[in-house]
Each structure stands twice: as structure tokens, then as C-alpha cells.
Structure 1
Amino acid sequence: MNSFVAPLFSPARRKFFSKEIKMLTTIGKSTSTEAVLGAVKGMRNRKKRLKVLKDARYPVLFIAGKDDQAVTLEQTLAQCAIPVKATVVFLANTGHMGMFEKPFDTQNALRHFAESILI
């Protein structure tokens, strides 16, 4: 579990987020093997859903960490180009865990996106 959680955070800031990494590792270690295997199998076996992005006639929000090692910047950029209406927010010095690494920026991105489509 240690080798899974830490890489979700930006390499440059992992020491700063050591408490969060420890907390998430503890949660992971306390999760049943059956649940972990089920989640991993679900992610591995899920169908590609790019058609959802292609068919989207509604606004789509992408929030991505520039240092994400789980979903690379190149993968994110490729997906951002698919929807007709996409809003893209890239978080600097952030990995896959923007909600921990940049909580205010993540909240602001969500708020501004919601306001832009609801007002």
C-alpha cells in the first residue's frame, strides 16, 4: 500500500503531505483484500468510455495535476480535446490527489464551473 499511495502525490511535495499519505495508507491497509481486489478488477476491466466524451453536448470539467503519474498530462490533454465544451484546469505541483494537494484550487474550479453552467 505504501508504494501505491505516495505516487498519487506530486513527487516534489510528498514530504509535505506525509500525514495525508499516512492516513490514506492506513485506510488502504484496513480495507479488506476482497474490496481492494474488487476495485482493482473493476478499474482494470472497465470499458473505455470515450464515447461519453464524444457524445457530450453539455459542458465537461477536467481538473488535472500537472505531476499526475496515474493519469499522465498527455492522456489528460488527449481526453480534454474530445468534448465539444470542455473546461480544463491544470494544477501545478500536483499529482492525482488535487483534493488534498490543492483543496482550495480544486474547490474554486468546481465552483466556477458550476456557476458557469448554472447561471
Structure 2
Amino acid sequence: MRKAINNGNITWIEEGTGAVVVLIHGFSESAGLWHLQTNRLKNHYRVIVPDLPGTLAAPLTQPLSIESMADYVYAILLEEDIKEAVVIGHSMGGYVALALAEKHPALIKGLGLFHSTAKADSEEKKENRSKSINLMQQYGADTFLRQTLPNMFSPATKSKHPELIDACIKMGQECSLSALIAYYEAMKERPDRTAVLQQLKVPVLFVVGKDDNAVPLDNILPQIAMPAVSSVHIFEEVGHMGMWEIPAASNLVLEQFISFCQL
């Protein structure tokens, strides 16, 4: 069921009952990113899936930052009277999850980084984001999405399931140009949050695709030993979109991790 507060400025999907799981989408995505996981997890858990500002019906708020998006998610949890949750973020959603954990550590019962990282952008990555912003401004969002999003999938997925690339582009087209640019600016300016990993006492999940060009394996490996408790899954022939590329395996990983966090 889709819900809203603040005159429709904050929107989310809620499904199921039980211990709370929050699934946060990333750049050029919406709550629909997690539909295969929501359909599975709702049988055992209360699943909250926000639409971040600038996505679908949720208007873009300015200035937008990773921290303001964490505040947005927290407003949903306050509205739902949620005191603790397992919070899992994909890519940019992982950055939001880390900011939420930094601001409200008592809320976090477990943290999942699904193709995401606690490190800040390197100078090279920041420069590439600036170039991408220029590309969007010059040629429009659609050209950028069609050029960029296929690279989020592994070669095997692109070959066997081109329909997933089309669906990913279609989802991205539901975001405005101004929102896409604001997301890139927010990601570019985010701080390093590896200290958050080091301070967390709850379990932390790392999901990594061996063919992920956006958050490569060598970026994640040094972070695995930082939390007190880590769970790590490295998937072969998977890029940056494991929840779509291998949904059954992704669902199993999430179910096992969420169950472990309840102990």
C-alpha cells in the first residue's frame, strides 16, 4: 500500500507485518526497484520502501543532500512509530542508510549495503560525476540514462536479459532531469562514512557483484573488517543490480541477514 504525509511530499510503500525492514532505492530508481524483494519479505516482515525526493510523486526538495534524504526516511519512520529497523540501501540508498545510522544509531538493528560503499567519492569519481551532470544538461536525461544504465548490469545479464536494461531505463525516465542532477551533486559531496561502519555494533551486510563497475570489489574489501559483525556475499556474473539480476539469490541473502538481525 502506498502512503503519504506532508501533503503528499513524502511517499512510501508499506507491506506486511512483523519486524521492520526498510529498503532504500538508489539513483534514477524508485520504490519499485525492490518489488521482487518486497513481495517475498512481506510474508514475514513489515517492509517500508520510501520513494526518495524527486522520485515519482515525491517532489524534489532543495537543497538536496544525502543527509536530507536520511531525514526524509526518518520522517517516515517517525510517522509509522518505528523504533528500530533493519535498513538496507542500494547504491545511493546505501549512502542514505549510512547517514541515517550516523544520525540515529539506536534505530538501526542491522545495516545492509547492497552494491554500495561507506567511502566518499574519489577525486576521479567526482570529476566523472561533474562530466555526467554536464552531459545531462547538454543532451537531456534520456540520452544520459540510455548511455549509462546498461553499464550497471553484468555482460551476462545484458546478453541474456536485455529486458532488464529496458526496465531500468524506464524507471529512470520517471525521475526529472533536475532530480537526477541533484542526486549526482549529493553523492559527489557526501563525506566518508567508514567511521560509521567501525562504530556499528549491529550486523552489517555487504552485497557485491564481481562485474560491478560502479562499486567495484576492491572498493568494498577493506570495509568488510570494519564492523563488529559482517556478512559478505560476492556474486559472480552480477553487476550493480543484483536484486534484478539474481532475484532468488538476493532474496535469500536478505532473508537470512534480516533473520540473523532479530537474534
- Normalising by structure 2, what TM-score? 0.43
- Equivalent residues, number: 119
Unpaired runs of at least 5, structure 2: 1-144
Which residue in 1 is equivalent to 2:176? 32
1:11, distance to aligned residue in structure 2 (A): 1.8
Considering fraction of residues, name the structure with more helix.
1
Letter in 1 for 2:246: K
SS in 1 for 2:249: helix
User: Which among 150, 170, 176 is matched to residue 6 of structure 1?
Assistant: 150
- List, as ranges, runs of 4+ consecutive aligned residues in structure 1 with deviation greater than 3 Å: none
2-structure distance, mates of 1:84, 1:27? 36
Determine which structure has the larger strand proportion and give its number: 2
What is the CA distance between 1:26 and its match in structure 2?
2.4
Aligned partner of 1:60 in structure 2 is 204
Let me know the Cα RMSD of the aligned residues. 1.3
Report the CA distance between 1:92 and its aligned residue: 1.1
Amino acid in structure 1 at the alignment position of 2:166: K
Question: Percent same amino acid among aligned pairs?
Answer: 32
One-letter identity of the residue aligned with 1:51: A
Superposition pairs for residues 99-118 of structure 1, below 5 Å? 99-118=243-262
Q: For residue 160 of structure 2, give the secondary structure of its aligned residue in structure 1.
A: coil
Counterpart AA for 1:53: L
Shift of 1:15: 2.2
Instruction: Report the alpha carbon displacement of residue 89 of structure 1 after superposing the two structures with TM.
Output: 0.8
- 1:84 aligned to 2:192? no
Shift of 1:30: 4.1
**TM-score, normalised on structure 1?**
0.92
C-alpha spacing 1:81/1:3, structure 2 compared with 1 (3 Å): farther
Further displaced range: 13-22 or 70-79: 13-22
